[in-house]
Amino acid sequence: EAKKQQESVIKEAKTKILPDWVQKTKLTGDFRLRYQWEDRDDSDQRNRFRFRARLALETKIAETLKFTFGIASGPNDPRSTNQTFTDVFSHKQLNIDLANVAWTPYAWVTAIGGKMKNPVYTVDQLIWDNDIRPEGVAAQFNRKFNDDVSGFLNAGVFILGENANSNNNPYMFVIQPGIDWNIAECTKLKYALGWTNIPNIEGKQQLAYSSGTNTYEKDAAGKNIYKYGYNLLSMTGELGFKNPIHNTVNYAALFGEFTHNTAASKRNNGFMTGFYFGDEKVTDKGQWQFKYSFRRLESDADLDVLPDSDFYGGSTGAYGHKATFQYGLMKNVWYEMNYFRSEKISSPKDPENLLQTDLNFKF
């Protein structure tokens, strides 16, 4: 009883001393230590020690408005927040990772403007790298139809480049309707269809941070220009099962993703399929998860600034395997190992082995 009274006094004191906006501010972050080994046939083996640090604050401006600002380690590359241990203990770089305002006028709709977490539903980075923070405006709608079925719609317009001398700057717009369906007491399905259109890209110069694996032609100055446009139709889904093996496996799921670029005449398909089992998420001591996926992403199935940067260097025109194991060491602290075996679809194959071992901390 005395402890409760003490906590109440402290809370009341904070309320009187701290400004209202500070009381409504939440600070979150994570830190990762990584060892990474790479071995590709056309290159020397590489060993790297790396870290990732991210910090974000959220503050409630008004009842329906929230501001988010975040910073992250790493270079300017939009697909990486990793910082390699290098350059004789030099100071490392921090970048703006998030800067947006979200408006939620009703419980079922949120509008966002700025640099944001990706509002598009994905399952394992076939089309989108998880580190990408789109810039533009987006809206998310969620509506419950009955106790077992709800629908959602993600939509956004994102800017890819800006040139003061051009009225035809590249951008993309995305629309993705989907459903969440509790099929039975222990079975659930999440499924979405997507359309991503990227105007003003065909015949334009190669974008910054491109992996250089789309199909290109040369302009009059000898620079790479995109041969095709990118008009992507996609399907994404996961079928999950609660407690399939009593007291041993708490959760198991099958997942997959498919993309087709209607603007390219060939090498325009990509797919990924996989499964995982153990715990649905690893957040506490003793929880664990094993995950496996196979993917094949043809050269023009996706814009080559978007796919997972760890899978064959973020290239399109590659296929292969990924296996992940996670184990909870304590609450919000877990160990993770990722192994990639990938190679180019065309010859020479130049297969790559990539191993990552991580210690993750979240707060």
Rounded to an integer, what distance in angstroms lies between the CA atom of residue 60 and that of residue 22? Answer: 9
Phi then psi for 202, rounded to 5 degrees?
A: -65, 130
- Cβ neighbours around 44 below 10 Å, total: 7
Rounded to an integer, what distance in angstroms lies between the CA atom of residue 301 and that of residue 263? Answer: 9
* Contact status, residue 299 vs residue 215, Cβ threshold 8 Å: yes
State mean pLDDT over 279-308.
98
User: Looking at residue 3, what is its pLDDT?
Assistant: 65
Of 70, 57, 56, the closest CA to residue 23 belongs to 57
Contacts of residue 167, defined as CB under 8 A and 6 or more positions apart, other chains included, come to: none
State mean pLDDT over 122-130.
96
Whether 331 shows a pLDDT value over 90: the answer reads: yes
Kindly report whether the peptide bond that precedes residue 348 is cis, defined as omega within 30 degrees of 0. yes
Whether 247 shows a pLDDT value over 90: the answer reads: no
pLDDT digits (tens, 9 = 90+) for 1-18: 666 666 665 666 556 666
242, burial (CB in 10 Å: exposed 0-12, middle 13-18, buried 19+): middle
User: Looking at residue 171, what is its pLDDT?
Assistant: 94
350 torsion bin: left (phi>0), alpha (psi -120 to 50), beta (else): left
User: Looking at residue 299, what is its pLDDT?
Assistant: 98
pTM attached to this predicted model: 0.92
User: Looking at residue 13, what is its pLDDT?
Assistant: 58
Helix (H) or strand (E) holding 197, with range, is strand 187-198
Helix (H, G, I), strand (E, B) or coil at 312: helix
Rounded to an integer, what distance in angstroms lies between the CA atom of residue 215 and that of residue 225? Answer: 9
H-only helix segments in the chain: 2-17, 20-23
State mean pLDDT over 89-111.
97
Of 119, 226, 113, the closest CA to residue 168 belongs to 226
User: Looking at residue 336, what is its pLDDT?
Assistant: 98
pLDDT digits (tens, 9 = 90+) for 54-77: 999 999 999 999 999 999 999 999
* Contact status, residue 226 vs residue 219, Cβ threshold 8 Å: no
User: Looking at residue 163, what is its pLDDT?
Assistant: 78
Rounded to an integer, what distance in angstroms lies between the CA atom of residue 335 and that of residue 285? Answer: 10
